[in-house]
Amino acid sequence: MVDVPYDRIADVPPAEVPEVELYHPKSWWTQYVFSQDAKVIAIQYSLTATAIGLVALVLSWLMRLQLGFPGTFSFIDANQYLQFITMHGMIMVIYLLTALFLGGFGNYLIPLMVGARDMVFPYVNMLSYWVYLLAVLVLASTFFVPGGPTGAGWTLYPPQAILSGTPGQDWGIILMLSSLILFIIGFTMGGLNYVVTVLQARTRGMTLMRMPLTVWGIFTATVMALLAFPALFVASVMMLFDRVLGTSFFMPALVEMGQQMKYGGGSPILFQHLFWFFGHPEVYIVALPAFGIVSDLISTHARKNIFGYRMMVWAIVAIGALSFIVWAHHMYVSGMHPHFGFFFATTTLIIAIPTAIKVYNWVLTLWRGDIHLTVPMLFALGFIITFVNGGLTGLFLGNVVVDVPLSDTMFVVAHFHMVMGVAPIMVVLGAIYHWYPKVTGRMLDDWMGKFHFWVTFLGAYLIFFPMHYIGLLGVPRRYHEIGEAAFIPSSTHTLNAFITVMALMVGFAQMVFLFNLVWSYFKGRPSGGNPWRATTLEWQTPETPPGHGNWGKELPVVYRWAYDYSVPGAEQDFIPQNQPPRPTRAVQEAAP
């Protein structure tokens, strides 16, 4: 830190913060396994999410093998294909992305970025991880139960989700619903921590408007998740009742295999309302942390303050609020009243405004920046392009008349993979390259990183651009084989095979990334405390990786916002948030 003479006006003496009662681990077990330290919990969350995410990756390969070369792989039948898509979707959306952004990055970054020693309820935080792990194990166990995992599709729509024609009707669906219920309980424990830590444990000087956008994104997403996940909870409990106790919340009167079922009078639409009341905010629960993180990556690696910080904050809050009144745009074909469709199409299109503001601000931050094409920056740029692409097809699907013919085609699959699959994953990967040095003290290998980026980025486009076209032709989703149909040209089959090859290659690039993670942990170049010369507090810790309690004796005091890059007249091209201001000329002259 630069030596600055004490300034009576602008400076404040170090904060007298009462030392919080930190839990000090006494054994190896409580330090690394049943740890209450948010940083350890973050790593546990990330590793677990990555592990189950790898399962989902393998499932996507199997699906693509079946779609690309139908009939070649005798071990994949129609039922298994349905089970693969269901588990792939559920794992990726909830157990990977939500857990990684909030449980992983939230736990690691919130206390460090707001200048706290730890989360405010460390014990509850620890429980949160263990309940999450239990949820993951219950989910994974469905691969081994009689009948296998459920094949109901990740939306689990009744009545088919619990009918005998759907694979996994015995145990799969019961365990899936139980796992979701556990996940939500575990997440609520963690979410309380993230919210209250931001509200109550910010260090002195850290006003809301000085918080890095990463914290804003994770904070808002957590608030949304806390309010939206109960909808999935209620839907899961009710469907569990229908399946296990034979109630008829969602189940209409049905004849199955010539037998009248005991159900009657229930409403499948009710489930859709509950599911999407959770499901649409979920998109932004994944996207808002990505928005926040990418803002910080762009600002740091373009050595420029974020353009329109206030607008960015307002946009995050506005998107969070709006995302609760758009849910029924997932239900245009459910037979609802056209007036509702009009209403939800309008709110959906309104969300484009704050989202577009964010995209403009990222681009304007890049404008005339001192852009360093580091691996995190490459991923951030990849995110912006991908998000714009996915967002534009969202405009198609948000309009009722365009959505109806495209509904349930591969176009929808391509759209949501671009906007909430590839785009957030780009941010996850960029963020790992960015913060890995802080977590381990070593840099990830650059050459492997660039290889990883280019294969992933180009590969993702080669996978999903053709898929839009296939969808426009009218190829439906969730079909394990499209067969010969008049409206499907034979070139579609070639395209499908091409997509499969690309998917295998992108998957291979992720193996390189995993190798990089392990290799760099032992052999990577030592990074020092602040390799990217960044301003935010996590880079100013006395130790790298940060020790127990994060800060030394005293908590840092914040004097400025998080984006003082390339400030004219400053000695370096960044000024850390905890660096006191330079004394003004008037003060210097007034001093005796």
Partner 1 sequence: MSAIILFMAVIAVIIGWWLAQQRLTAKPWLEEGSIDRFPGTGAMTLPAAKIGLGVFLAVASSLFALFMSAYSMRMNMVDWRALPVPGLLWFNTGVLVVSSVALQWAYVAARRNSMDGVIVGLCAGGASAVIFLVGQLLAWQQLRAAGYFVASNPANSFFYMITAAHGLHLMGGLVALGRTTAKVWRGAEMPQVRLSVELCTIYWHFLLLVWLVLLGLLTGWTDDFVDICRRLLS
We find the least distance from the C-beta atom of residue 207 to partner 1, in angstroms, to be 4
Q: Which of 2, 51, 262, 476 binds partner 1 (CB under 8 A)?
A: 262
CB 433 within 8 A of CB 449: yes
**Pairwise CA distance, residues 416 & 450, whole Å:** 26
Q: Which of 559, 574, 576, 578 binds partner 1 (CB under 8 A)?
A: 559
**Pairwise CA distance, residues 449 & 278, whole Å:** 35
Does 209 engage in binding with partner 1 (CB under 8 A)? yes
DSSP 8-class letter at 74: T
We find the least distance from the C-beta atom of residue 564 to partner 1, in angstroms, to be 8
* Spatial CB neighbours of 271, under 8 Å, sequence gap ≥ 6: 157, 158, 235, 238, 239, 249, 250
> Minimal CA–CA distance to 50: which of 114, 113, 103?
103
Cβ proximity to partner 1: between 227 and 517 the closer is: 227
Tokens of 286: 């994944």
Does 288 engage in binding with partner 1 (CB under 8 A)? no
Does 267 engage in binding with partner 1 (CB under 8 A)? yes
Cβ proximity to partner 1: between 206 and 429 the closer is: 206
Does 277 engage in binding with partner 1 (CB under 8 A)? yes
Does 324 engage in binding with partner 1 (CB under 8 A)? yes
Q: Which of 234, 364, 458, 497 binds partner 1 (CB under 8 A)?
A: 234
Tokens of 10: 């602008």
Does 493 engage in binding with partner 1 (CB under 8 A)? no
We find the least distance from the C-beta atom of residue 227 to partner 1, in angstroms, to be 5
The piece of 58-66, 80-88, 192-200, 329-337 that touches partner 1 (CB under 8 A) is 192-200
Cβ proximity to partner 1: between 312 and 377 the closer is: 312
Q: Which of 27, 207, 259, 490 binds partner 1 (CB under 8 A)?
A: 207
Q: Give the other-Cβ count within 10 Å of 170's Cβ.
A: 14
Backbone angles phi, psi at 295, to 5 degrees: -60, -45
Cβ proximity to partner 1: between 229 and 453 the closer is: 229
- For partner 1, what does the binding mask look like between residues 111 and 140, x meaning CB under 8 A? ---------xx-------------------
Does 238 engage in binding with partner 1 (CB under 8 A)? yes
Cβ proximity to partner 1: between 204 and 548 the closer is: 204
**Pairwise CA distance, residues 542 & 314, whole Å:** 33
Q: Which residues of 204-223 are buried (b: 16+ CB within 10 A; e: fewer)?
A: ebbeeebbbbbbbbbbbbbb
**Pairwise CA distance, residues 239 & 177, whole Å:** 8
Cβ proximity to partner 1: between 11 and 446 the closer is: 11
Does 275 engage in binding with partner 1 (CB under 8 A)? no
DSSP per residue over 8-58, as a string? TTT--PPP-PPPP------SHIIIIIS---HHHHHHHHHHHHHHHHHHHHH
We find the least distance from the C-beta atom of residue 200 to partner 1, in angstroms, to be 5
Q: Which of 313, 426, 502, 537 binds partner 1 (CB under 8 A)?
A: 313
The piece of 52-60, 267-275, 426-434, 536-544 that touches partner 1 (CB under 8 A) is 267-275
Contact set for partner 1, span 6-35 (CB under 8 A): 9-12
Q: Which of 23, 204, 343, 566 binds partner 1 (CB under 8 A)?
A: 204
Which CA distances in Å does 69 have to 58, 78, 82, 469, 492? 16, 14, 16, 19, 12
Cβ proximity to partner 1: between 157 and 563 the closer is: 563
Is residue 248 packed enough to be buried (19+ CB in 10 Å), middle (13-18) or exposed (0-12)? middle
CB 276 within 8 A of CB 208: no
CB 115 within 8 A of CB 551: yes
Tokens of 589: 């002259």
Largest Cα span, the chain: 98
Does 330 engage in binding with partner 1 (CB under 8 A)? no
Does 489 engage in binding with partner 1 (CB under 8 A)? no
3-state SS, residue 553: coil
The piece of 37-45, 53-61, 259-267, 432-440 that touches partner 1 (CB under 8 A) is 259-267
**Pairwise CA distance, residues 344 & 206, whole Å:** 38
**Pairwise CA distance, residues 577 & 558, whole Å:** 5
Q: Which of 265, 335, 483, 568 binds partner 1 (CB under 8 A)?
A: 265
Q: Which of 93, 131, 182, 195 binds partner 1 (CB under 8 A)?
A: 195
We find the least distance from the C-beta atom of residue 245 to partner 1, in angstroms, to be 5
The piece of 266-274, 443-451, 464-472, 488-496 that touches partner 1 (CB under 8 A) is 266-274
Q: Which of 123, 314, 367, 508 binds partner 1 (CB under 8 A)?
A: 314
Angle ∠(298,300,303) on CA atoms, nearest 5:
100
Does 102 engage in binding with partner 1 (CB under 8 A)? no
Contact set for partner 1, span 563-592 (CB under 8 A): 563-564, 580-581
DSSP per residue over 80-147, as a string? HHHHHHHHHHHIIIIIIIIIIIIIIIIHHHHHHHHT-SS-S-HHHHHHHHHHHHHHHHHHHHTTTSTT
The contact set with partner 1 (CB under 8 A) reads: 9-12, 120-121, 188, 191-192, 195-196, 199-210, 223, 226-227, 230-231, 233-234, 237-238, 241, 245-249, 262, 264-267, 270, 273-274, 277, 305, 309-310, 313-314, 317, 321, 324-325, 558-561, 563-564, 580-581
